[in-house]
Structure 1
Amino acid sequence: MTVLSNARLVLPDRVVEAGWLRIDGDRIAEIGEGPADGVDLGGRWLTPGLIDIHVHGGNGAAFNAAEPKAVQTVTDFHRSFGTTSMLGGLVTGKPDDMRTAAAVVADSCDAGELAGIYLEGPFLNVARKGAHDPELLRMPDVELMESVLEAGRGHVRQVTIAPELPGGLDLIKRCADHGVVTAVGHTDGSYEDVRAGFDSGASMATHLFNGMRPLHHRDPGPIAASMAAAGAICEVIADGVHLAPGTVDMLFATLGADRIALVTDAMSAAGVGDGEFQLGHLKVHVVDGVARLENGSIASSTATLAQVVARTVGMGVAFTDAVRAATLTPARLHNLSDVGAISTGLRADLVVWDENLDVAGVVRAGRWIREI
């Protein structure tokens, strides 16, 4: 039984300036306000554990490696920086490789280490391929999708599909029937194409603005369609590279934190530094923390979700809104009812932040991962 006291508690509906909470086992047992004995957090922010629904790697490893050790390396790295729940993201690969990787990541899901699997590819538009190998991209294929879902043993929670591709709408419907959250992304579709994707069952957009036709006042395209779709969640990579600060500020002002999921799209280079890396089958060069393909295109990121939250605040967004977009919003999107908020009965996943919005402490399931 542990009490964390003298904290600025970020609750779903308010901030408690001088709060405390009691952990019993792996649960949040009680929340209060005022003086209390326990671990004194010195007035630091205390938030829910972060949830990254779009991450591919970190600390030199990647989920696509299809090796248990690599999966654990990525998980442990991001967890140590406050991401207590995440989806294991797989980029486009050969069909057999994707099935094998899904099965390995599913083992980690079975063990409670990961919250699920995310498939980014291979049903993407080559015109907006980003850092995906164009030789491996495919037209929507129900049989292939079913085989990867089967390999994932019910743990595939999210998939990105370009809705304008032949068979794209049917595949979106099929994924929705399986309870898989489907995102529109890596798309060159028109406004009408992408709205049809949402009408067919898509419920989110993959890294809004990135990997899609740009916004134009006479050709609004995927960005406007995603923003206009009622209730659709929009991923935002606010790492200071993928989007300008004004774009991030505009999205929060327009959509609100309940429709934004902050993500990293992090690759194996996260936490390692500059150098040469692999993202799927493609070579990536990291210089000054920015990952790019040999043709200069941005390729994934090297950020942690805590860094994304801090940078979002630096772009003019309130800390509580940035936290909500990295916790409660993705939890609700994926029906992760056990996490995403500081509330009694939920799993004790918590992050302590210092005055610079650096991670000072991490608790997962009631145990210190990084002790203050």
Structure 2
Amino acid sequence: MLTLLTNADVYAPAPLGRRHVLVAGGSIVSITKRVPEITGVPIDVVDLGGRRLVPGFIDAHVHVTGGGGEAGPETAAPAPALSRYTTAGVTSVVGLLGTDDTTRTTAGLLRQVYALRRQGLSAWAWTGGYHLPPTTLTGAVRTDIATVEPILGFGELAISDHRSSQPTMHEVARVAADCHVAGLMTGKAGVLHLHLGDGARGLGMIRDLLDTTELPARTFHPTHVNRRSGLLDEALDLAARGVTIDVTAFPPAFATDDEVLAAKAVERFIEAGHLARLTVSSDGGGCLPHFRDGELVRMDFATSGALADLLADLLGRGVPLEDALPPFTATPAHYLRLPNKGEIVEGGDADLVVLGDDRPTEVMARGRWHVRDSRPVVRGTFETSD
């Protein structure tokens, strides 16, 4: 069945104004100023009444198998349910392993990526985890990226964190080179996605790698940079050198005195003229531990819902929607080389979000409605209805 969304205020993410969007076979067939005349075939017409239609969000940092485990086996988080993503407006995810890349494996990560695809999301993966030597499927980072279709790069390799393997610059350079070369071989992103802890070394290693190797700036994708203000300052400097930075939508209740709220971090990138070098992600499925002198003092649980909260916060601060949207949509799609994602364009995938009161109320993933009237209409295999 065709789906025709009429009277949509389209942000592609650039504002297009009032448009009528025709969807068929999981793709956007047309975007027109006049309602198209369609006869002889079944069609579902949905009048959006001027509500804003935006691209589906891309969450490039999700613990799709669950994260955590830092405080014992009972603190390992379960895999998030399908509707945890869709009700937040997320239609594409990149899954990863974190602290526990010992009992959780790349094979298990890929299984969950394939499961999410079968349930209607678009999903990819980072190989590896916090530590070196890396957890891989084939035994080598370059081979994983070159031969396993969903794997885009390596992540989240931990630096400046007491939980990391304390990698040397030489070791990180070797992994980054494998990512870069595999990207050249395949046309994939070939990115090294880096977890930043709150250690004093900060982003110094990335600066040194840019200064002393031939690796291009796009190879490095540091995340969690808003965990303290000094780290965010370093990240803005790296953005000026061509590095794409990822800000984490930490829940406000988790914020420490020195942490920069995600909305404020995004505003700083806009003010500095570096919006094109910014992505945002949720750390969904992961535990949010707070340490003092290496000891766990409290823990929270992250979800992709933080992205919906972040967008609403940005709009509430007066950030225009066309400026707020790219880090959620077009920028990660272009940076991670995800074809047909991140924009509302003819021929693109029908990953669409309707906003009401600045939050997702309807969500379509690959042409199928997953959320209507703010409630999930498609659920994961083991989800129960409300």
**Band of TM-score, shorter chain:** 0.7 to 0.9
2:339 and 2:107 mapped to 1: Cα distance? 29
Contact 1:90 1:98 in 2 (8 A): yes
Contact 1:89 1:117 in 2 (8 A): yes
Tell me the residue number matched to 1:237: 248
DSSP 3-state at the match of 1:28: strand
Tell me the residue number matched to 1:209: 226
Q: Does 1:194 align with 2:232?
A: no
Flag structure 2 segments of 5+ consecutive residues without an equivalent.
38-44, 70-77, 161-165, 184-189, 374-386
Tell me the residue number matched to 1:157: 152
Once the two structures are superposed, residues 15-35 of structure 1 have per-residue CA deviations (whole angstroms, 9 ceiling, x without a partner) of: 132211111221111111255
Number of residue equivalences: 320
Contact 1:184 1:197 in 2 (8 A): no
Tell me the residue number matched to 1:252: 270
Contact 2:86 2:371 in 1 (8 A): no
Q: 1:46-85 counterparts in 2 under 5 A?
A: 46-56=53-63, 62=66, 73-85=80-92
Once the two structures are superposed, residues 245-285 of structure 1 have per-residue CA deviations (whole angstroms, 9 ceiling, x without a partner) of: 543311222144321112111236xxxxxxxxxx4xxx969
Relative to 1, partners in 2 of residues 1:169 and 1:297: Cα closer, same or farther, differing over 3 Å?
farther
Q: 1:10-29 counterparts in 2 under 5 A?
A: 10-12=11-13, 14-29=14-29
Q: Which moved more, 1:113-122 or 1:84-93?
A: 113-122
Q: Does 1:321 align with 2:323?
A: yes
Question: What is the CA distance between 1:46 and its match in structure 2?
Answer: 0.2
* Paired letter, 2:152: R
Q: TM-score, normalised by structure 2?
A: 0.71
* Paired letter, 2:95: G
Question: What is the CA distance between 1:343 and its match in structure 2?
Answer: 0.4
Relative to 1, partners in 2 of residues 1:263 and 1:172: Cα closer, same or farther, differing over 3 Å?
same
Contact 1:239 1:308 in 2 (8 A): no
Q: TM-score, normalised by structure 1?
A: 0.73
Between the aligned residues of both structures, percent identity stands at 22
Once the two structures are superposed, residues 25-81 of structure 1 have per-residue CA deviations (whole angstroms, 9 ceiling, x without a partner) of: 211111112556832101100011111001225xxx72789xxxx65x533420233
Tell me the residue number matched to 1:141: 133
Contact 2:97 2:104 in 1 (8 A): no
Flag structure 1 segments of 5+ consecutive residues without an equivalent.
124-139, 269-278, 286-292
DSSP 3-state at the match of 2:205: helix
DSSP 3-state at the match of 1:339: coil
- Coordinate RMSD, CA, aligned: 3.5
Question: What is the CA distance between 1:240 and its match in structure 2?
Answer: 5.5
Contact 2:121 2:365 in 1 (8 A): no
Contact 2:127 2:136 in 1 (8 A): no
Question: What is the CA distance between 1:144 and its match in structure 2?
Answer: 5.9
